[in-house]
Structure 1
Amino acid sequence: MLLSKCLRRSFVLGLSALIGLSSCLAVAGQGKDHHAFNRVPGAQMKGYDKVDYEEINLLLSKPYRLQGKWQVDETERVGGVYTYIHYDLPSNISTIQAFRNYQKLVKQQGMEVLFECDRTCSKDFSIHKIINIFDDGRDNYLNGSSNLFYLVARKGNLNVVIFINDLNNTSVFQYVIEEEQLDDSLISPIALSLVESGKIDLYGILFDTGKAEIKPDSAGELADLAQVLTDYPKLEIDIVGHTDNVGSKRDNRKLSAARAEAVMDYLIDEHSISEDRLNTIGRGQTKPVADNGTDKGRALNRRVEISALNAQVIVEAQQQDNAQIASSNQSSNNSSTSSKSEEKSGGIDMDDIGKAADTAGKIFKLF
């Protein structure tokens, strides 16, 4: 059985990694069932992981092998609050029994099934063969191929991915993504690009040919960058200098490093950004984004790239802002409706009964 990346790292590092291994294995005891999906009765939680923001690829068609590589034709990238849970089920519960109950569960939740694959999945692939395509970035254990079932469902911003297979006992790997969308009107283009792509190329930071002194016309773009760093005080970045291919490779690398350091010094001196949040790299001509054979291409290759080392702090800050706005709106709504509620006679609101029924609908009943 394939070991998870967490376990593999511990064996490679040897005895000194046992502390890290123990923390890796201990997460199961810290977890709890997701609020939208109760566990199968008798199931034991073997792994748990939750973070405020992560992304995964929803696999929306059956994986297949082409020229020695595993591929999936239809995928969709989603991001938001991420919860991973690995359950082992009692020995008397078969994989198909668990799968049928999850099908029933998502139906009761009013979720739309985007894709599902029953036992025919087992004939073609093991889960670990498509981990890189699934790409959840969390190193969480995912394995197995015997009696494999797979399901993806969605309702609103709630996405659930279920892998079920036979690993001695029936195992369930459950991933839930509660999508969070950033409000583009409240976030700068630089910050938005750092969240979406992890980096941004800035062309408004200008230098004379062969020199590393920042030109005065660069002040506007540098102020925009400094504002992002001020708005998100936990954000850390790499400042990466790039050149075209005019000149020697050695000189270009030296020049690009000097320009990156000039940007760092400017942010520190002019905008009081802490030095420990900034790192500089000189790539020279080694990472072109366009053809160096044309003037336009060389101009695109001369750039300062900003790469976020922890872009999730932007998302977390936006989530906090959204929560504060929602709380403020809720308080306003409560105050505006309180007088109306006082005019109503006592009794039970049927809408509340409907909501309670929806919540009760997530309880498992095994066949």
Structure 2
Amino acid sequence: MNAVFTTGTRFLAAVTLSLCAAGASAASLLTERPGGKDHPLISRYEGGILYDYGSNPLGTARLVERARSGPVLRPVEGRISNRLYWGPKEVSALAVFRNYQQALHTAGFETLFSCETAECEKLRIQKMIEDFPREAKWVGNSAMVNIFNNGDQRDFHYISARKQTGSGFTYVQVALAGPRSDGETAGRTRQFIQVVEPAQAEMGKVTVDAKAIGAGLQRDGKIALYGVHFDTNKAVLKEESAAQLQSMADALKAQPAMKVLIVGHTDNQGEIEANLALSQKRAQAVVDALGKNYGVAANRLNARGVASFAPVSSNASEEGRAKNRRVEMVVR
């Protein structure tokens, strides 16, 4: 039976495998984890059992990549989803592995590294990844993190792959350990699947206080602020901007002779002329608010919108675009 790989536009994948601890009850080992389901990107091998799952909205995982010097570990960041499966009884690790290889290839993934038992042992790949399950998040039995506890599980197989999705990449790594010969799980291949989808931290959740603003203006003549918020394509200040605006006003009041430009910046999405107009309106909205609501003299403030003409990061990724969408105070 085939592992199913469904297509989509958002994912980053890293796949590994996990073991169960001695002493866990047989019933818990072969019971489908309540509330769990396959990831939309990649399914279990047909007939398998989902033992555990977990996720991290934004984190860093590691995968094996082939370099000139040999296999190396590469960190990848994104939304991480973890799955641990028991395969159907008496289906070999190689059969499961071949299905994942085919599924990744069919879905357009580029293989970064792949090895089967003999080469994996020679390159000590299992030892390289033995901590991956321990680093993953789970909703259930943490005993499963020890699947590669000694880096010497039989019939070990591994593959990592990537596919461009939008402005980023989806990474997948799959590690399999062969069936144990005794116990309730005898004859069942162990599979840990970790999917990491592209994701960035939401910016603007931390404001810069008045003292830091004043120091930045004195030191650098400008400071970028991400605590000033607007809805997409609008120039109306959102309520959550109040704390940042207050700090801006306090910094100016602490230096009463200072005059500043309030400069609006956008990313490069959309037409330049529209972004110029939008950035100017946003800068003016800040100036108006500082004067009307926070008591800063109008003759100390000037609004300027520069659209995407002064980026601080690449606009090729959402993370970079988020950094470029900002308000700056510039000493004049």
Task: Using structure 1 for the length normalisation, give the TM-score.
Answer: 0.41
Q: Which has the higher contact order (CA 8 A, sep 6+)?
A: 2
Identify the structure with the greater helix proportion. 1
TM-score by length of 2: 0.45
